[in-house]
Structure 1
């Protein structure tokens, strides 16, 4: 590579974080997009800030962003979700995250999760995960021996179709506990060994591209609900596990 992807991603997250912190709990206007999800000027401003960094440092790279679109192209594509968890952001809860991923030939090779209010950042590249933050925590998943010992998390049951929710309930019934809320932040907690399983659906590439490298570098696994590798053509389901040995059990429950 003729560029430093870690330095580029870090600079982009620094730029977006400055925008987001300026708007956090500021009672800004909220618009509703065509898919009924909320968006604010913080989302748009953060993505614009990231794109400015990428345009300056990697002008020949393709960019896909939740708010401004784009498509994959060439060897490298950056995938951006400026605020994953806008509902949390607009209600003043600091469990949203900025997601920045670098894809090489369509596969994520770098993933960054940034929580700019709490000052926490996960950055995975070449199989190594770095975590920084003032509230404690060390990179590494918790390899529970069975689903019966596992903490399961999901952003919201509203993301599931009826058949998907049936599969999720089977998985939840096999786990110790289930908690809702967290968006991408929940995957960061899984990478710190605080959560053991996350199962979600209706995810777009900008929702998961940054997460897979983080989970895998922490020692876990992230796939779709069939246990297959996530790609730009995946069906929107996602399953993250702290212990990859539990993948077969989880997939069997989700598929019924």
Structure 2
């Protein structure tokens, strides 16, 4: 499959997922808590409808490809090409009527992320990349994405979804970094990572991510010139504790502080 054909297909996946989700946004809809007594973990009919639509399109066009998604069982996870789908990353924002959520679509080839997109259908924005480059498409037009230079933690704007999602030990290590940045903001889910790629945010630190939470974002961030690792500086394709930066100097300083925390 050529690059042009592939890009067109990813946009098609974004189209069908958005069509499935938008009828549910800011409307009365049922919310099911799938945590079974742990921290509140909501899922909606919109999640399931969007993932079903994307899976059906993938099966029709690439029946040999695998699919790993948030809502349904894995299909052929050992295939050469495997799609990673998170229909609504930021479900809590979604059910609160806040637009800080998005559909994550990623493709892995032999374990390596090769393409990713974050689609926000309500705002009509798309961030996408292949690791070598990244682009934005939305109401403001279309443009290339690029991280910004940031020389030190003291100059950095840092974002995390919420420190309350971290365990006590990880939260303490995060707070060490937070004390040294210029400004920190909470919220954003997948949007925070795209803001690193767009050059508006310098650092994102998270914990407890699933693979489908981060894999679709890696080709976007790296395509824009950013860095994605776990807290030990290793590849983050498995999720868990993740650090994303637009500048290597900030990344290295954050990793050093997280190690000491």
TM-score, normalised by the number of residues in structure 2: 0.93
Contact 1:227 1:247 in 2 (8 A): no
Residue 202 of structure 1: how far off its partner (Å): 0.2
Decide whether aligned partners of structure 1 residues 217 and 158 sit closer, same or farther in structure 2, where only a CA change above 3 A counts: same
Paired position in structure 2 for 1:14: 15
Contact 1:148 1:175 in 2 (8 A): yes
> Secondary structure at the residue paired with 2:51?
helix
Residue 68 of structure 1: how far off its partner (Å): 0.7
Paired position in structure 1 for 2:209: 203
Q: Deviations over 1:133-166 (max 9, x none)?
A: 1147751111111110100000011221111111
> Secondary structure at the residue paired with 1:210?
helix
1:49 counterpart = 2:53: yes
- For residue 252 of structure 2, the aligned residue among 227, 239, 248 is 248
Paired position in structure 2 for 1:122: 127
Number of aligned residues: 254
Distance in 1 between the 2:131 and 2:61 partners?
A: 20
> Secondary structure at the residue paired with 1:201?
strand
- For residue 168 of structure 2, the aligned residue among 135, 143, 162 is 162
Distance in 1 between the 2:104 and 2:45 partners?
A: 17
User: Which stretches in structure 2 are left out of the alignment for 5+ residues?
Assistant: none
User: Which stretches in structure 1 are left out of the alignment for 5+ residues?
Assistant: none
- For residue 152 of structure 2, the aligned residue among 138, 146, 163 is 146
Residue 247 of structure 1: how far off its partner (Å): 2.1
Contact 2:131 2:220 in 1 (8 A): no
Distance in 2 between the 1:159 and 1:107 partners?
A: 27
Which deviates further from its counterpart, 156-165 or 95-104? 156-165
Contact 2:87 2:102 in 1 (8 A): yes
The list of structure 1 runs, each at least 4 consecutive aligned residues, that deviate by more than 6 angstroms after superposition, is: none
Residue 245 of structure 1: how far off its partner (Å): 2.9
Residue 241 of structure 1: how far off its partner (Å): 0.1
Q: Deviations over 1:51-105 (max 9, x none)?
A: 1111111110000000113052121100000000000000101110100000011
Distance in 2 between the 1:167 and 1:135 partners?
A: 38
Distance in 1 between the 2:90 and 2:237 partners?
A: 22
Contact 2:131 2:222 in 1 (8 A): no
> Secondary structure at the residue paired with 2:145?
coil
Distance in 2 between the 1:151 and 1:180 partners?
A: 11
Paired position in structure 2 for 1:63: 67
Paired position in structure 2 for 1:77: 82
Distance in 1 between the 2:116 and 2:230 partners?
A: 18
> Secondary structure at the residue paired with 2:199?
coil
Distance in 2 between the 1:245 and 1:106 partners?
A: 28
TM-score, normalised by the number of residues in structure 1: 0.95
